[in-house]
Amino acid sequence: MNVTMKAPLAILISGRGSNMAALIEAARAEDCPYAVALVASNNPDADGLRIARNAGIATFAHSHKGLEREDFDAIIDRALRKAGVRYVALAGYMRIMSDAFVRGWAGRMLNIHPSLLPKYKGLDTHRRAIEAGDAEGGCSVHLVTPTLDDGEVIAQASIAIVPGDTAETLAARVLKAEHQLYPAALAAYVRGHVGR
């Protein structure tokens, strides 16, 4: 694919950025339909920002502290529009977003969540799956809507829960699956979405 035809993607992070790194790595493939135009964060100290800079990706960081939700989201929105972004991938972005921001990116913003949605929206997903006696955990890539972790699921990967699993051991196996699932699901979504 000609690099100029790749859809510009922004990745929003708050922390370590391992899913972000997987998306950046996947974007190096010639046939990947997206190119990472910007990594943005509400946390200027996010480890992922350093990873992005080292990979030569433009970054934008602005703390949300002391700002109204709408005002902070407007700052992020301006940075995304200025960078010519067409798709947004949330990757460990620990912010509840305003309805206006979410609506502005409807159908173009995806998230990865570490559970088999609709199970275990919100936090602490692996502990909740183990305590419920579930046979499997996993991860889901979904469209972002104003309701937390509620949008249409476009891809999932299941991981068996084995005897002795803790939230940490399960999280580590699910995270590996996330790094495979997210780039593949995003690429498939962007390909299917072209022209829309």
For ligand GRF, the binding residues (CB under 6 A) are 13, 15-20, 91-92, 112-114, 139, 175, 178
- Measured from the CB atom, the residue of 17 and 183 that comes closer to ligand GRF is 17
Q: Tell me the CB-side half-sphere exposure of residue 83, using CA atoms within 13 A.
A: 25
User: From CA 155, how far away is CA 140, in angstroms rounded?
Assistant: 6
Q: How far is the CB of 194 from ligand GRF (least distance, A)?
A: 26
CB of 148 to ligand GRF, least distance (A): 11
Among candidate residues 113, 126, 142, 179, the one labeled active-site is 113
Tokens of 91: 């990757």
Which of residues 82 and 120 has its CB atom nearest to ligand GRF in the complex?
A: 120
**Which value, in Å, is the radius of gyration of the alpha carbons in the chain?**
16
CB of 15 to ligand GRF, least distance (A): 5
Active site residue 113: yes
Beta strands in the chain, from DSSP E residues, in sequence order: 7-13, 34-41, 59-61, 87-90, 109-113, 136-143, 153-160
| Active site residues per annotation | 113
